Structure 1
Amino acid sequence: MTGLKVLIVDDSPFMRKVFSDVIDADAAFKVLATACDGEEAVSLALELKPDIITMDLEMPRMNGLEALQKIMKVKPTPVIMLSAVTDNGTRDTIRALQYGAIDFIRKPDGAVKLDIRQVGEQLLEKLHIAMESMNSGLLRMLPAVEDKAIESPSPELRPPAAKEAPPPKAEQEQTTPSEPDVRRTLPGTGITSAAAAKPAILPKPQKPKRETELRKPTAALPPRPNIGKLGERKPIEASGLRDSRDKDSKPPIREEGVSKESRKETKPGKQPANPITAAAPIVPPPAVEPKVTASFTDLVAIGTSTGGPRALHEVLTGIPSDFPAPILVVQHMPPKFTNSLAQRLDSFCSIHVREAKDGELVETATAYIAPGGRQMSLSKDTGGKYRIKLSDEGPRSGHMPSVDFMFESLIGQRQLKRHAVLMTGMGSDGAKGMLALRQDGAQTTIAEAEQTCVVYGMPRSAVELGAATHQLPLQGIAPALVQEVKFRKS
């Protein structure tokens, strides 16, 4: 059998036949088998070991999200989701991307003008991108973001820690071994990088496992990276500064689908008795409303693509509610999906996260995600305030929204300390814009390190161009931004 082996999962016999014909017509791929629901998909994935899986979201018996979680826990495999362009479909697609799916396509739907031929072409394009990444060694299957369990999953789907929460005291006594701070200098660039040696197993993010569970900080943060000027600071103990996720800084309660304003008073759930003062219940702290203002001296701009939703989750949940800078985000994604991404991230983050609107005032402690199908830039009004500008100027670097387009809008804004970040993604969008920003005097330009990227394409392009001043693993990006924006005085 030649070609990349593909498992097709869809409850529609018609769609299974269509996708099988499209894939088999391409000599680079071979349909290994088809499955009609999630249970059959899990069984075939473990038995046949396909190279890649196409997975429908809505199916009987076991849906695509549940099947994805099981497969990623037992036999991590590249998965491309098939999503309907509905509110539920877009929300579940974002969750699937955070649970480990590498990409998605939109299925034919009455609300969008997509025919079977177009969907087949899109699927082949995604399969070729995945194959190219796999053959070049750029694609990595990383641990899923286990921020919340799927609603009412079967017991075997839940991570072990989610089945029975330990008492608070036990949690406080647990420690997590820190990631070794191994770094090197990239030849000929002077850029500090994570060491080339890749860990066999990356540490699993310590995220809450239940829908109603409080968002707790990790037991131990990764060591602060030694990153030249970014790292010119006193140790935390000596300087009195604390990271936003230190144990004395309690994150707010995060419940998906609940607005920040409505979370200011939270009823405590049933808590284990305190062995010392059993009569005093443990009351969770009130939610902290982000401190926003239209006056700021720093601005962060982030660009990402394949693997971006999980990377954005890691970075934005590490930003505190008093972060004194706005964050502009370009994630390569079609219309409607960017709104679902913003809503989901907002439900976890201490800052506001929203899909950007044309002309809106830019404020601190807020992340603005560029809408799918539009270009986003930063503009300054006659009153000296900064505003979002959306346009329909067409694709740049093959993308709309484009990271290069957003980065280039920051050139000349030298009254701001600009911090640019490029994270996981296929291609090179953002690399040229980052180089132009660095040459224009940007304060910080960060490329995500290779060992934490799902696809090491966009960050690698930035490093090869000499655009990145620093290369950091994903877990080090938020602490570096917080240190640079909140605490660096010069």
Structure 2
Amino acid sequence: MSIKVLVVDDSALIREVLTRMLTRDGDINVVGTATDPIDAREKIKALNPDVVTLDIEMPNMNGLQFLDRLMRLRPTPVVMVSTLTKKGASETLLALELGAVDFVAKPSAEAEGGIEAFGANLRDKIRAAAKSDVRGRSAGRAEAPKIAVKTAAAPAGALIAIGASTGGVEAIRAVLADMPADCPPIVIAQHMPPGFTNRFAARLDEICGLKVVEAEDRMPLLPGHAYVARGDYHLRVERTSGQLKARLTQDEPESGHRPSVDVLFESVARTVGPLAVGAILTGMGRDGARGLKLMRDAGAYTVGQNQASALVYGMPRVAFEEGAVVEQAPVEAIAARLAHALVRLKSAA
């Protein structure tokens, strides 16, 4: 069965380009296009698409307003097609908070290779969106119990590592928002392109009690702080002069990604070992499973997001099947699981 897509954009050129890109491999069928949200509303009812691509700036109704209404009234997987600007990044992150599955940045007019890479990326995002559970997530938000986390007392040198992909913006927010201010450093690899990770870190910093920043090379990792891997850079953890620090490199992509969750987790297993705790969250593919298994083998506590709460149960599923996680838990409980594991480490020390 091919994936049915509705393309929503006020530009005739963009609608044509997206249609051509999406239908290239034969497993995606563009069943219709819409020029604005009013047009889109009627076509969603008539065509019942599996996935909608949505622009933000459109006439008659802003794409964000339309997305908010759509997710409340008829939850449908949506992939945002975003502009690579500071304003575009902020609006895209808001769209993910409102319920969009993922986003792609519109390609620049330069290299043909850029257009081809954009098309491949877009098709992958559509395939992931088609497998996502937006209806389950919408229902789960209202029912999710909050689990209070008062402390994350941990021995010196402890570290928390988190990896995610599709759906990770909201999952990471949920975990960080529940982490206490006394937690050890947190390092995060979220699949996200350049130009968006800085705004993502800033947004997390606005809504979490922790200090959240985009990681910089050789930056010391401090308690009460969280560090987001920069787009198009691998993030590793190293220890120099007894101090844990971030290392950023542009080595070849691992598991098809840069930043790669595997790269981060492998460095944590090697550098921090049993003093680490790790979580693998929602995402398509298998990035992170190998690295998380190395963390568990090194004595770290590891948790995977469970299927019921994961927007895309891909990365957590592979990690679970390969024996990389000690246990699975709903995203609302992961901060508590990590904090309790740290307290046990402190007691054992």
1:296 alignment counterpart: 156
Aligned length: 346
Q: 1:374 to 1:117 in 2, by over 3 A?
A: closer
Larger radius of gyration: 1
> 1: distance between equivalents of 2:56 and 2:79?
10
Q: 1:375 to 1:414 in 2, by over 3 A?
A: closer
1:140 alignment counterpart: 133
Is the CA contact 1:297–1:415 (under 8 Å) kept in the aligned structure 2?
no
> 1: distance between equivalents of 2:146 and 2:34?
42
1:437 alignment counterpart: 295
2:304 alignment counterpart: 447
Q: 1:415 to 1:334 in 2, by over 3 A?
A: closer
Secondary structure at 1:404 match in 2: helix
Secondary structure at 2:68 match in 1: helix
1:69 alignment counterpart: 68
Secondary structure at 1:389 match in 2: strand
> 2: distance between equivalents of 1:413 and 1:115?
36
Is the CA contact 1:42–1:70 (under 8 Å) kept in the aligned structure 2?
no
1:489 alignment counterpart: 347
Is the CA contact 1:143–1:204 (under 8 Å) kept in the aligned structure 2?
no
Residue number among 139, 142, 149 corresponding to 1:243 in the alignment: 149
1:467 alignment counterpart: 324
Query: How far 1:486 moved relative to its partner?
Result: 4.5
Query: How far 1:68 moved relative to its partner?
Result: 1.1
Q: Larger helix proportion, structure 1 or 2?
A: 2
2:196 alignment counterpart: 337
> 1: distance between equivalents of 2:2 and 2:314?
24
> 1: distance between equivalents of 2:141 and 2:104?
29
Please list every run of 5 or more consecutive structure 2 residues that lacks an aligned counterpart in the other structure. Answer: none
Q: How does 1:313-324 map to 2 (within 5 A)?
A: 313-323=173-183
Percentage of pairs with the same residue: 37
Is the CA contact 1:45–1:71 (under 8 Å) kept in the aligned structure 2?
no
Secondary structure at 2:285 match in 1: coil
- The residue identity in structure 2 corresponding to 1:322 is D
- The residue identity in structure 1 corresponding to 2:316 is P
> 2: distance between equivalents of 1:331 and 1:205?
26
Secondary structure at 1:451 match in 2: coil
> 1: distance between equivalents of 2:120 and 2:196?
20
Is the CA contact 1:302–1:422 (under 8 Å) kept in the aligned structure 2?
yes
> Over residues 365-395 of structure 1, what are the superposed CA-to-partner deviations in whole Å (9 max), with x where a residue is unaligned?
111000011111111112x111111111111
Query: How far 1:328 moved relative to its partner?
Result: 0.5
TM superposition score normalised by structure 1: 0.66
Consecutive aligned runs of 4 or more in structure 1 exceeding 6 Å deviation: 111-114
Q: 1:489 to 1:451 in 2, by over 3 A?
A: same
Please list every run of 5 or more consecutive structure 1 residues that lacks an aligned counterpart in the other structure. Answer: 146-200, 207-219, 223-241, 246-294
1:263 alignment counterpart: none
> 1: distance between equivalents of 2:284 and 2:273?
32
> 2: distance between equivalents of 1:399 and 1:204?
33
Q: How does 1:232-311 map to 2 (within 5 A)?
A: 243-244=149-150, 296-311=156-171
In the alignment, structure 1 residue 456 sits paired with structure 2 residue 313: yes
Is the CA contact 1:424–1:453 (under 8 Å) kept in the aligned structure 2?
yes
2:105 alignment counterpart: 106
In the alignment, structure 1 residue 204 sits paired with structure 2 residue 150: no
Q: 1:71 to 1:411 in 2, by over 3 A?
A: same
> 1: distance between equivalents of 2:273 and 2:128?
40
Query: How far 1:143 moved relative to its partner?
Result: 6.6
- The residue identity in structure 1 corresponding to 2:210 is I
> 1: distance between equivalents of 2:109 and 2:143?
39
Q: How does 1:21-420 map to 2 (within 5 A)?
A: 21-109=20-108, 116-131=115-130, 134=131, 139-142=132-135, 201-204=139-142, 221-222=146-147, 243-244=149-150, 296-323=156-183, 325-382=184-241, 384-413=242-271, 417-420=275-278
TM superposition score normalised by structure 2: 0.91
> 2: distance between equivalents of 1:221 and 1:4?
36
> 2: distance between equivalents of 1:345 and 1:327?
13
Q: 1:395 to 1:119 in 2, by over 3 A?
A: closer
Secondary structure at 1:450 match in 2: coil
Is the CA contact 2:281–2:315 (under 8 Å) kept in the aligned structure 1?
yes
Secondary structure at 1:452 match in 2: coil
- The residue identity in structure 2 corresponding to 1:368 is Y
> 1: distance between equivalents of 2:143 and 2:270?
38
- The residue identity in structure 2 corresponding to 1:243 is V
Q: 1:119 to 1:434 in 2, by over 3 A?
A: closer
> 1: distance between equivalents of 2:273 and 2:262?
20
> Over residues 3-45 of structure 1, what are the superposed CA-to-partner deviations in whole Å (9 max), with x where a residue is unaligned?
3221110111111122223334543232222111223223322
Secondary structure at 2:91 match in 1: helix
Q: 1:24 to 1:408 in 2, by over 3 A?
A: closer
Is the CA contact 2:188–2:227 (under 8 Å) kept in the aligned structure 1?
yes
In the alignment, structure 1 residue 476 sits paired with structure 2 residue 333: yes
